[in-house]
Amino acid sequence: MRRVLIAEDNAVNRELLRELLEVRGYEVAEACDGQEALEMVEQTRPDILLLDLGMPKLDGFGVVRHIRASPGLARLPVLAITAYAMRGDREEVLNAGFDGYLSKPLDAALLAKEMQRLLNRSDS
């Protein structure tokens, strides 16, 4: 069973993501802020991280910087899940070290497709 860590400060968004993922057979863990996300990545070693950009304590950009700088974690697929959907945001996110980008509100089919792409890539 694939392990997913959701890092999202909004409880409703976390619940929605958890339900979308559990119904597809994923094992889901949750973090409420960026600092907790980093701690949980170290502890649980998820197969993929779904990371909100605008979180307290440490934003998504800070989390991904820490992950990419850590030799044991650098290859972890990180998918940005964000309300930022302005022109240029996608490029900024990908250039910052994220592996993918989805804007809210989420399309469940697109989420499943993007996660599968990233998980397949990390398997090879």
Structural domains in the chain, CATH included, are: 3-119 (3.40.50.2300)
- Please compute the mean of the pLDDT values over residues 91-102 and round it to a whole number: 94
Q: What pLDDT is attached to residue 37?
A: 97
Angstrom distance (rounded) from CA 116 to CA 79: 11
Q: Is the pLDDT of residue 121 over 90?
A: no
Q: What is the pTM of this model?
A: 0.94
Amino acid identity at 113: K
Is-contact 52 82, C-beta < 8 A?
Answer: yes
Q: Measured between alpha carbons, how far is 94 from 120 in angstroms, rounded to an integer?
A: 18
Is residue 87 scored above 80 in pLDDT? Answer: no
Q: Tens digit of pLDDT for each residue in 105-114? A: 889 999 999 9
Position with higher pLDDT, 115 vs 124: 115
- Structure tokens given for 16: 């929605």
From CA 39, how far away is CA 42, in angstroms rounded?
A: 5
Q: Write the pLDDT tens digit of every residue in 12-29.
A: 999 999 999 999 999 999
Classify 39 as helix, strand or coil: helix
Q: Which of 38-47, 53-62, 76-85 has the lowest mean pLDDT?
A: 76-85
The pLDDT of residue 124 is: 66
pLDDT of residue 107: 92
User: In the predicted model, is pLDDT for residue 98 greater than 70?
Assistant: yes
Angle, helices 60-69 vs 34-44, to 10°: value is 30
